[in-house]
Amino acid sequence: LDLELALRHALEHNEFLLYYQPKVNLRTGRIAGAEALLRWNRPGFGLVFPAEFVPVMEETGLIVRVGAWVIEEACRQIAQWSASEVGDVRVAVNVSSRQFVEGDLEGDIRAAIGRHGIEPSLLELELTESALMSNADHTIKVLGNLKQLGITIAIDDFGTGYSSLAYLKRFPIDKLKIDIAFVREVTVNPDDAAIALAIIGMAHSLHMQVIAEGVETPAQVAYLRRHRCDEVQGFHFSRPLPVKEFGAMVLANL
């Protein structure tokens, strides 16, 4: 309860901020975009990570309002980078199922894009399998509208949710993000390798892009490049960074 109150206070007093972790295109070696990751600059505590407060926001429903703030802030940052020497950066935001069911995700996104005058193709959404399944018919409609607008739809933590593959046909999905569970030992565990390769092959057959998360070693990068994974993200390239450091990294990588 104390935490819930502190989180409500945090939203009203602007204590949230976004860090940005680069996604790298394996063909070009260049930064292809970023995942925006929520941080809480809690007075007296320092920087607090999502594991400590996102579950409470999910339970209390506060994630709906904070999620809307994340979309607004990401769009504002995209516009600021586009107008600067950094240039166009595609930013992925994590979206909770409650934002589909209780919030006005489509309205929030349209408003933020319009307000900041950004190219819709610079915004990407990361949804978990459970987020997709929790109100499928409504979610399909919203995602269809957003995709028509030009937004990219990615499935986060792919392969770890409780869902059937049928949704790959029903939902307008652009990209699969291979869960870290299959990436960690991809170069040494034949089962993980088989799953990763099956996801890459399936994604490409369905005309989807594929990204691997949690990439930490040169061997993983080499393996994923050799097997035509499109993008990678992980500590091997960079931890999630504050805005200024991310911008500097893009400029150094050009």
Which of helix, strand or coil describes residue 71?
Answer: helix
Q: Work out whether 129 is an interface residue with ligand G (CB under 6 A).
A: no
- How many other C-beta atoms can be found within 10 angstroms of the C-beta atom of residue 78? 24
Query: Smaller CB distance to ligand G: residue 61 or 166?
Result: 61
Query: Smaller CB distance to Na ion: residue 42 or 177?
Result: 177
Q: Work out whether 156 is an interface residue with Na ion (CB under 5 A).
A: yes
Compute the least distance from the CB of residue 85 to ligand G, in Å: 26
Token pair recorded at residue 246: 């991310």
Q: Work out whether 91 is an interface residue with ligand G (CB under 6 A).
A: no
Report the candidate in 13, 169, 148, 174 with the shortest Cα–Cα distance to residue 92.
Answer: 174
Q: Name the binder of 108 from ligand G, Na ion, Mn ion, none, CB < 5-8 A by kind.
A: none
Q: Name the binder of 124 from ligand G, Mn ion, Na ion, none, CB < 5-8 A by kind.
A: none
Query: What is d(CA 206, CA 173) in angstroms, rounded to the nearest whole number?
Result: 10
Token pair recorded at residue 92: 């992925």
Q: Name the binder of 15 from Mn ion, ligand G, Na ion, none, CB < 5-8 A by kind.
A: none
Compute the least distance from the CB of residue 48 to Mn ion, in Å: 18
Q: Work out whether 104 is an interface residue with ligand G (CB under 6 A).
A: no
Residues in the chain: 254
Q: Work out whether 157 is an interface residue with Na ion (CB under 5 A).
A: yes
Compute the least distance from the CB of residue 119 to ligand G, in Å: 21
Query: Smaller CB distance to Mn ion: residue 108 or 179?
Result: 179
Q: Work out whether 235 is an interface residue with ligand G (CB under 6 A).
A: yes
Q: Work out whether 73 is an interface residue with Na ion (CB under 5 A).
A: no
Q: Work out whether 157 is an interface residue with ligand G (CB under 6 A).
A: yes
DSSP bridge partners of 97: none
Compute the least distance from the CB of residue 63 to ligand G, in Å: 6
- The DSSP letter of residue 206 is T
Residue 177 contacts by C-beta under 8 Å, 6 or more apart in sequence? 126, 154, 155, 156, 157, 158, 210, 211, 212, 213
- Classify residue 228 as exposed, middle or buried by CB count within 10 Å of its CB (0-12, 13-18, 19+): middle
Compute the least distance from the CB of residue 143 to Mn ion, in Å: 16
Q: Of 4-12, 24-32, 195-203, 208-216, which part binds ligand G (CB under 6 A)? A: 208-216
Is the separation of the CB atoms in 240 and 20 below 8 Å?
Answer: yes
Compute the least distance from the CB of residue 43 to ligand G, in Å: 20
Which of helix, strand or coil describes residue 158?
Answer: strand
